[in-house]
Amino acid sequence: MSAYILPLCFLILSLPAVAAQKLIPQNPAYRVIVDNDFAGDPDGLAALAHQLLAPKTTVPLITVTGTDPNLARLTHGNKDTAVIGKSRAEHLLTLLKTEGPAVAAGHDYIQREKHNKPSDAAKAIVAEAMKDSPLPLLFTCGGPLTNLAEALKLAPAIAEKMTVIWIGGADYPSGGPEYNLSTDLAAAKYVLEQSGVPVWQIPVSTYRQMQYSVAEMQADFLPVSPVSRWLYSLYTDLPAFVQLGGTLTMGDHPLVLLSALSTESSHFETLPARTISADGHYGDEIAGRQIRVFSGVDARLTFADFIARLKIAATDN
């Protein structure tokens, strides 16, 4: 052995262990109430998983609406779909090993006429909005605006304490029928026309940009973790009337993109809010009321981050 090599061996052995890789720091910038009809399309649960894994937001509360009554009867009979959605959200929390977020159900639409007291969801929204926190509050909604409208009626002052990001409504300026809008038109009218709460709206042609290949779901998404396998299994058990092509619309993921990633690669305009007619079309401009309407969202960034977050969580666990 060379006279130079032997001392070098001793030097290497005496060096301290290599420090763990330092990671880019990320701290929460917002707290987020996540509201959705989790007994409906699985994309709401996929977006919830993404939101819970995102380090730039913290989720203190999850609230649940029911699904449209006609859809509910086809998929769940006369069962309370808000309660079913609550159970699914709680199961996801278990899979993610996430503790902390409360889960509160609103009133199911089929049973709605039987309720004469505020829902657990509405009361929880008011309570969270009224808390003192250094983090601004976002209310992200991937379904009907039922729970938010009820909360705003209970405590109108919370309109000044949050910003709403909503997946729903048809495109501007004409509008038209759209599932989240039409399921509870009265709630949408109250939030957009009367409440004054700041709104970022992602209408139908924008959220449909969130297309994810069925082949990618099988090759890239399915194998990642128990969470991805459970979410994938929900897509294998869709109602018989749903006929998929080569893609899935993961339409609720803009909620995570805009709250926890970036708005810089998306496109929006600040437009006058409009009244909404009984068929979902937009009417006259509302004086003094403006909303931010997104016409383009960054699907590549969103899905790349989601897969990466699932992989990191699987490694950490």
The DSSP 8-state label assigned to residue 271 in this structure reads E
Spatial CB neighbours of 256, under 8 Å, sequence gap ≥ 6 = 47, 50, 51, 54, 140, 302, 306
What percent of the residues of the chain are helix, what percent strand, and what percent coil, each to the nearest 5? 45, 20, 35
Work out the average pLDDT over 31-48: 96
> Taking the CA of residue 137 as centre, how many other CA atoms within 13 Å lie in the half-sphere pointing to its CB?
20
pLDDT one-digit tens code per residue, 210-220: 999 999 999 99
CA–CA–CA angle 309, 312, 315 (5° rounding): 150
CATH of 27-316, one of 1.10.10.60, 3.40.50.970, 3.30.70.2190, 3.90.245.10: 3.90.245.10
Among 69, 192, 60, smallest CA distance to 127 is for 60
Contact (Cβ atoms closer than 8 angstroms) between residue 252 and residue 44: yes
Rounded CA separation 261/300 (Å): 12
What is the reported pLDDT for 114?
Answer: 67
Cβ contacts of 196 within 8 Å, gap of 6 or more = 159, 160, 289
Taking residues 231-241, report their average pLDDT.
Answer: 88
Q: What are phi and psi of 223, to 5 degrees?
A: -75, -5
Question: Which regions of the chain does DSSP assign to beta strands (E)?
Answer: 30-36, 57-64, 102-105, 137-141, 163-167, 199-202, 211-213, 247-249, 267-276, 282-296
Whole-number Å distance between alpha carbons of 216 and 195: 41
Cis peptide preceding 177, ω within 30 of 0: no
pLDDT score of 238: 83
The per-type count for the chain, helices as H runs and strands as E runs, is: 13, 10
Q: What is the pLDDT of residues 125-180, one digit of tens each?
A: 999 999 999 999 999 999 999 999 999 999 999 999 999 999 999 999 999 999 99
Tokens found for residue 186: 């009265």
Residues 169-222: pLDDT tens digits? 999 999 999 999 999 999 999 999 999 999 999 999 999 999 999 999 999 999
pLDDT at 106 over 50: yes
Question: Distance between CA atoms of 273 and 275, rounded to whole angstroms?
Answer: 7
Residue 21: predicted pLDDT = 87
What the block records as the tokens of 306 is 């989601």
Residue 113 has pLDDT above 80, yes or no: no
